[in-house]
Amino acid sequence: MSEKQKTHFGYQQVDTEAKAGMVADVFHSVAARYDLMNDLMSGGVHRIWKRFTIELSGVRKGHSVLDIAGGTGDLAAKFSRIVGDDGRVVLADINDSMLKVGRDKLLDTGHQGNIEFVQADAQFLPFPDDSFDCITIAFGLRNVTAKETALRSMLRVLKPGGRLLVLEFSKPENELLSKAYDTYSFRLLPLMGQLVAGDSESYQYLAESIRMHPDQDTLKDMMEDAGFARVEYHNMTGGIVALHKGIKA
C-alpha cells in the first residue's frame, strides 16, 4: 500500500486528506468572534486592506463577482452595492459556520437580492466556465490544501479579461518589522485568542499558517504557472499583507 501524501497544517505535517477537516474545525471554533478578532488583531487596518482590494477590482454596475472564503461578508457587502440590482455577488466559503455568520450578518444589514451564498471548496468551484468578471479571496488561500489546483479552478470560472485578487498575509520587507511581527504573532495572538474567543490553539494555527504561506514572488510565480497574465502584487503595511492581481487572458 502506498504511503499517504503529506501536507502542512501550520507547522505540523498531516495527511493531505485530513487537512480540510482540521482547517474546518479551526473556523467552526472562531466563526462567532471572527469580526471582533479581525478588528483587534489588525487594529482595524484590515478594513483599509479590503478597501484597496475593492479599488483594484475594477468591479462595476452589472458585474458578476465571486468572493471565495468570503467568511463574514465584508467584501461581499461592498460589492453588492457596487454591482447593483443587475449584478451578482456570490459569497462562497467551504466552512458552513462561517457561511452562516456571513449570511446572517448580510441579511440583518439589508444586503439581499443580488447576493448568493454557496458552500464551496476553492479547489473545485461548482460554477460553469467563464462565469465571473472578478474573483476575490481574502485571507483564505493559505488555508487551501492544494493552492495550485485552486488557482486553476479560479482561472476556469473567470471570464476572459476577468481579474483575480488575492489578499493575503505575506513576508515583511524589513528584518526588524519581521522580528516584531513574529513576537506579536506567536506571543500576543494566541493570548488574545484565548481571552476573546476562548481558543488559543486556533490562533496559534493561524499564526503558523501565515509563516507557511508562499512569499510574494513565489505566489506571483504560482499564479503565472496556473495561467494568469499580467500578475503583479502590492505590499501593504510593510509587506505584512500583499495584494496579488492576475488577469485571465
Average pLDDT over all residues of the chain: 89
Asked if pLDDT for residue 1 goes beyond 50, the answer is no
pLDDT of residue 225: 98
Q: How confident is the model at residue 2 (pLDDT cuts 50, 70, 90)?
A: very low
pLDDT of residue 200: 82
The grid coordinates of residue 138 equal 481574502
Instruction: Answer for the pair 142, 227: CB distance below 8 angstroms, yes or no.
Output: no
Q: Which CATH architecture has domain 26-173+205-247?
A: 3-Layer(aba) Sandwich (3.40)
CA gap 232, 230 in Å, rounded: 6
Q: Pairing state of beta strands 64-68 and 132-138?
A: parallel
pLDDT of residue 29: 66
Please report, rounded to a whole number, the percentage of residues in the chain having pLDDT higher than 70: 92
The grid coordinates of residue 17 equal 486528506
pLDDT of residue 3: 56
Residue range 67-74: mean pLDDT, rounded:
91
Asked if pLDDT for residue 227 goes beyond 90, the answer is yes
Residue range 10-36: mean pLDDT, rounded:
73
- Which contacts of 40-46 are long-range, i.e. CB under 8 A and separated by 24 or more positions? 40/192, 40/196, 41/189, 41/192, 45/237
Binding residues: 72, 93, 121-122
The grid coordinates of residue 146 equal 492544494
Determine the longest span between alpha carbons in the chain, in angstroms: 55
| Residue written as grid cell 487551501 | 144
Q: Between 196 and 245, whose confidence is greater?
A: 245
CA gap 136, 134 in Å, rounded: 7
Q: Between 225 and 8, whose confidence is greater?
A: 225
3-state SS assignment for residue 169: strand
**What value does the CA radius of gyration of the chain take, rounded to a whole number of Å?**
17
pLDDT of residue 203: 80
Residue range 174-190: mean pLDDT, rounded:
88
What's the pLDDT tens digit per position in 37-54? 677 777 889 999 999 999
Distances (CA, A) of 45 to 62, 175, 191, 218, 240: 29, 21, 20, 25, 11
Q: How confident is the model at residue 107 (pLDDT cuts 50, 70, 90)?
A: confident
Binding residues for S-adenosyl-L-methionine: 72, 93, 121-122
What's the pLDDT tens digit per position in 120-169? 999 999 999 999 999 999 999 999 999 999 999 999 999 999 999 999 99
pLDDT of residue 53: 97
Half-sphere exposure of 42 (CA within 13 A, CB side): 18
